[in-house]
Chains A and B, each alone.
Chain A
Amino acid sequence: MSEIHAETVAFARDTMMPPAPPPRRETGAVRWMRENLFSGPLNIILTILAAWLLWLALRDLLPWAWRGIWQAGSASECRAIRDQLYGEGVPAACWAVVRARWRQLLFGFYPADGLWRPLLALGLFLVAVLPVLFSGAPRRLLWLSAAAPFVIVWLLWGGSLWGPVAAALGFVVGWAIWAAVARRGNAGLALLLGLGAALAWWFLLARPVAAGLASVAPLALVPVESRAFGGFTLSLVIGLAGICLSLPLGVLLALARRSELFFISKVAVAYIEVIRGVPLIVWLLVAQVVLNYFLPRGTNFDILLRVIIMVTLFSSAYIAEVIRGGLAALPSGQYEAADALGLGYWQATRLIVLPQALKISIPGIVNSFIGLFKDTTLVSIISLFDPMRISSTIRATTEWGGIYWELYVFVALVFFAFCFAMSRYSIWLERRLERSHR
C-alpha cells in the first residue's frame, strides 16, 4: 500500500484548458470510398460482391427498360417494331401498353369526361391534410379539412350537392347541442343529447332538407356508381379513407384496452383479437356476402362503403396495438404528474399522454398504414377492379395479350411512390418531434 502511495504524484491544475476546435476532417469522394467501401479485407470483399450482384440484377433490366417501345397499338405491333429496331428476340419493354391504357390503370371505368373529379378530390384531400401533417401550415385551413370529406364524397360519387351538405349539417347540429349543454356543466348529458340530435337529424330531417334544397337550387354532378371505380382511384379511395378513419378508431381502442373499466377493456381486447386473428380476405368476403344477410331486404348498402368499413375496422386493430405499445412506453411518472396537477382523464390523455405515445408509435403507425394501402389490392377477390385486376383485364384483351412485366412495373412504381412518400414523411416528423433529446 505504502509503495503505491509513494508513487502517486500530487497534482493540481492552476489554469483550465480552453476548448480547442476539433481536428479538420478530410473530405472528398476518394476519401469517402476508402472509409466506407474499402476499409478492410472483409469490407472490400463485400463491396465487390455487392457490385457484382447489382450488375447481375441490372444488366438485363436496364437495357430492357431503356429500349422500351412507347408507340404501338398492340403487343404484336410492339414486337414488330422491336424486331425492326433491335433484331429478333432482343428483350425490349413495351411501354406502349401503359401509354394506351393509363386511363384505366389510374381511373378504372370512371366516366372519361369526369376524370377531373377524382383528380380534384385528390388535390382537395392533399390540401386538407396539410394543416394536420405540417404544424407550419395556416390554421385557417382546418375549416377546409372539416369540409373536405363531404366535398370529396360529392366529387367522387356525384349526385346532388345537398346530400353531403345535409350529412355535414348533422355534425353541426350535434356539435351545437353538445356545446350548449356542456356549457351548463353536464358533460355526460351533453354527449347524449348531442348524439341524439345528430342521429335524429340524419334519420328524420336530412333527407327532406336535402330534397328541399335540391328543388330550390339543383346543384348536382352526374352520379357515378361505385362499380365504376377502379385502378389507383379505387386503391386511393379505400386506402386514404381507411387511413384517416382507422387512426382515431385505433387510438380509442388502445385507450379502451388500457382502461381500468373491466367491461370496456375486455370488449377492446376481444375486438382486437378477433379482427387481427382472421385474414383480411375473409373480412372482405364477409363484407361482400354476409353483411347482406343481416341487412333488411332491398337495402342497397354500397359495396365500396362496405369495403372501406371493413378495411378501417381491420386496420384499427393493428393501429390500436401499435399505440398500446406507445402508451406502455410512457413512464408512469407522466400519468402521476398529470394526476397531481388535477388534470382529468381526457385532459391528461389529450395533452400529456397521446402527444408522447403517438410520437413513440409513429414508425409503427406508418408501417401499418403502408400495409393497409398495399392491402387494398386484395379487393380484387370480391371483384372490384384494383390496379392488379385492371392489369389482368388489359392482358386478357386481344391487343395486349402476352404483356406481363410492363404493367406490373408500372403498378409497382406508383405504389412505391406513395409508400415511399409516407415513409419519408414519418422520418421527417420523427426528427421534428425529437425534443426530449434536443
Chain B
Amino acid sequence: MTDAALAPPPPVSGEVAVQITGMNKWYGQFHVLRDIDLTVTKGERIVICGPSGSGKSTLIRCINRLEEHQSGQIVVDGTELTSNLKNVDKVRSEVGMVFQHFNLFPHLTVLENCTLAPIWVRKVPKREAEETAMHFLHKVRIPEQAHKYPGQLSGGQQQRVAIARSLCMRPKIMLFDEPTSALDPEMIKEVLDTMIELARDGMTMLCVTHEMGFAQAVANRVIFMDQGQIVEQNTPREFFNNPRSERSKLFLSQILGH
C-alpha cells in the first residue's frame, strides 16, 4: 500500500479503553443496535464495516454520546456514559471524532478551527494552542494552509484539517466515521496515509470504513456488523481470507467482487 504501512503497528497494551456491555438502542420502533458487547484495549485499531443501515456509524457515535443508548453500559476510559453531563463532557474532551463530511467550521480559519476547542474547553493559552495546532498541521502536512478558510481547501485537505483539529485536543481515542466516503478517489490516499501514521503512533482508533486496504494495513481487528448486531469479529487476515458467516461472505463478495 504505502510506505507508512510497511512498518508494523505497535503492539497492543492490556488496558481497557472502551467497554461496551449489553448495549441497545432504538430509533422510535426501530431497533438499530442490538445487544452490543465490545471491548477495545488501548492502542487497538478496529475497523468496523458492514452494509449501510447496519448501525456501524450509530455504534461509534454512541461512544462519544452523539447518540444516546437506551440500555446497557458504555464505559470510556473509566468514565461511564450516563445522562450526567459532566461525564459526557469529560468523555468528549478525550475522544476525538472525524466525520464523513469533515464538519469544519466555515467561518473560522484552519488555525482557528484547530485552536478553538483547546482554548475554550481545555483553557489552554492562545499562544500555546496555536503552537500545538501548527504542530499537528505539520503532522497532517498542510501547515501552509493555516490561515485559509476551509472553503478554500480541497476535500482531502479539509479532512486532514479535521483530523488535526481532533488531535489538538490530545484525545486518547479517535473515532472515524467513514472519513474517506465523501472524497474524490485522488484524495483518499492522502487521508488514509495520515490515518496510518496515526495508527503507527499508537493511537486507539475505531474506524467505520470500507477501505479494505487500510484495514489490512493497520487494523488488528475487523468487526462486521449487520442489522444492528456484531456478526463477525476477527483479525483482518482471517476476516478477508476466511470469513465464517454467510453474511460476511456475501458482503465481501459484493465489495471486492469487481
Chain A positions within 8 Å of B, measured between CB atoms, are 331, 333-334, 336-337, 339-344, 347, 351-352, 355-356, 359, 433, 435-438
Residues 97-121 of chain B, each 1 if its beta carbon lies under 8 Å from chain A, else 0 = 1010111111100000000110011
CB distance from A437 to the nearest CB of B (A): 6
29 CB contacts below 8 A, A to B, read A333-B101, A333-B103, A334-B105, A336-B99, A336-B103, A337-B97, A339-B64, A339-B92, A340-B64, A340-B92, A340-B95, A341-B92, A341-B165, A341-B166, A341-B169, A342-B89, A342-B93, A343-B116, A343-B117, A351-B120, A356-B105, A356-B107, A359-B107, A435-B106, A436-B106, A436-B150, A437-B151, A438-B149, A438-B151
Task: Please indicate the chain B residues that have their CB under 8 angstroms from the CB of A334 in the complex.
Answer: 103, 105
From A336, A342, A352, A355, name the one whose CB has the most chain B CB atoms within 10 angstroms: A342
Contact in complex: A336, B121 (CB < 8 Å): no
- With the chains together, A437 CA to B89 CA distance in Å? 33
Q: Assign chain B's interface to a size class.
A: 20 to 34
Q: Is the CB of B66 within 8 A of A339?
A: yes
Contact between A342 and B151, CB atoms less than 8 A apart: no
B2 within 8 A of A: no
CB contact under 8 A between A342 and B117, given known A336-B66, A337-B99: yes
A337 touches B105 (CB 8 A): yes
* A260 CB → nearest B CB, Å: 12
Interface flags for B56-92 (1: CB within 8 Å of A; 0: not) read 0000000010100000000000000000000001001
For residue A336, which residues in chain B have a CB less than 8 angstroms away from its CB? 66, 99, 103
Q: Which residues of B contact A436 (CB under 8 A)?
A: 106-107, 149-151
User: What's the least CB distance linking A185 to chain B, in Å?
Assistant: 12
Q: Are A355 and B107 in contact (CB under 8 A)?
A: yes
CB distance from B61 to the nearest CB of A (A): 8
Contact, CB under 8 Å: A438 / B66? no
Chain B positions within 8 Å of A, measured between CB atoms, are 64, 66, 89, 92-93, 95-97, 99, 101-107, 116-117, 120-121, 149-152, 165-166, 169
Give the nearest-CB partner of B101 in chain A: A333
Contact B121 A435 (CB under 8 A): no
- Chain B nearest Cβ from A342, distance in angstroms: 4
CA distance in complex: A104, B96 (Å): 65
With A339-B92, A340-B97, A351-B120 given, name 13 new contacts (CB 8 A).
A331-B101, A333-B99, A334-B105, A336-B99, A336-B103, A339-B66, A340-B95, A340-B96, A341-B92, A343-B116, A343-B117, A347-B120, A352-B105
- Which residues from chain B contact A344 at a C-beta distance below 8 Å? 89
- For B121, list chain A residues within 8 Å (CB): 341-343, 347
Chain B contacts for A333, CB-based, 8 A: 99, 101-103
Residues of B within 8 A of A355 (CB): 107
| B71 CB, nearest partner CB in chain A, Å | 21
Residues of B within 8 A of A340 (CB): 64, 66, 92, 95-97, 99, 166
Give chain A residues whose Cβ lies under 8 Å from the Cβ of B97. Answer: 337, 340
Q: Are B105 and A438 in contact (CB under 8 A)?
A: no
- Which chain A positions have C-beta within 8 A of B89? 342, 344
Asked if residues A343 and B151 are in contact (CB atoms below 8 Å), the reply is no
Nearest residue, chain B, Cβ from A433: B107
- Cβ–Cβ contact A337 & B103, under 8 A: yes
- The 5 A-B pairs of least Cβ separation, nearest first, read A342-B93, A337-B103, A436-B106, A333-B103, A341-B117
* Nearest CB in chain B: distance from A353 CB, A: 10
CA distance A352 to B66 in the complex (A): 17
Q: Given A333-B99, A336-B66, A437-B151, do A343 and B105 touch, yes or no (CB 8 Å)?
A: no
Q: How far is the CA of A355 from the CA of B103 in the complex (A)?
A: 15
> How far, in angstroms, from A435 to B149 measured CA to CA in the complex?
7
